[in-house]
Amino acid sequence: MPHPQDVFDGVVANHMLYHVPDLRRALSEVTRVLKPNGTLYAATNGEAHMCELHDLIRRLVPGFRTVAVGFTLENGDPTLRQHFGDVVLRRYEDNLVVPDAQALVAYVNSMATLENATDDQLRTLDNAIAEQIAREGQMFISKDAGLFVCK
């Protein structure tokens, strides 16, 4: 980070540490720029995040993977404890109820992790979402997210 040592009271890593290729190095930099009593706030998803939608995608698009593979609610604690003495996880209970197939299809089609899907696979997926919402009136999607507070 292009900042001197011990300058920040807090650092926010909002749903981004799972994108970092060298997490150990990134966390070392965070601890370097934090003041001695500074806090890292690191939001991430759990492995069950949006599982209903991801399961549907996996059935129709072989090889699909979710983004939050590298840093999750399940594996974040031991990783963060290598850099911080006090790590607290605050889980956020939430879900989505999506009644609009077109909006959900647009979201799914924007996912970078579907970049290798074929046009046929995407069409089949779009139709499956539309059919489920037409049949049930909505799609329920559980969320699994939380915030690590580290000192």
Summarize the confidence of residues 144-150 as an average pLDDT: 97
**pLDDT value of position 67:** 60
**pLDDT value of position 110:** 87
10 Å CB burial of residue 49 (0-12, 13-18, 19+) is buried
pLDDT over threshold 90, residue 72? yes
Summarize the confidence of residues 39-56 as an average pLDDT: 94
pTM of the full structure = 0.84
pLDDT over threshold 70, residue 68? no
What are the residue boundaries of the structural domains of the chain, listed by start? 8-150
**pLDDT value of position 79:** 95
| Residue 88 bridge partners (DSSP) | 149
Summarize the confidence of residues 100-111 as an average pLDDT: 92
Determine what percent of the chain falls in helix, strand and coil, rounding each to the nearest 5.
Answer: 40, 30, 30
**CATH code, 8-150:** 3.40.50.150
Q: Are 35 and 7 in contact (CB under 8 A)?
A: yes
> What mean pLDDT, rounded, does the chain reach?
93
**pLDDT value of position 89:** 98
Q: Are 141 and 45 in contact (CB under 8 A)?
A: no
Q: Are 38 and 9 in contact (CB under 8 A)?
A: yes
Identify which has the larger pLDDT, 49 or 115.
Answer: 49
Q: Is 87 left (phi over 0), alpha (psi -120 to 50) or beta?
A: beta
**pLDDT value of position 149:** 98
Distance in angstroms (rounded) separating the CA atoms of residues 87 and 1: 22
What sign results for the dihedral spanned by CA atoms 16, 19, 23, 28? negative
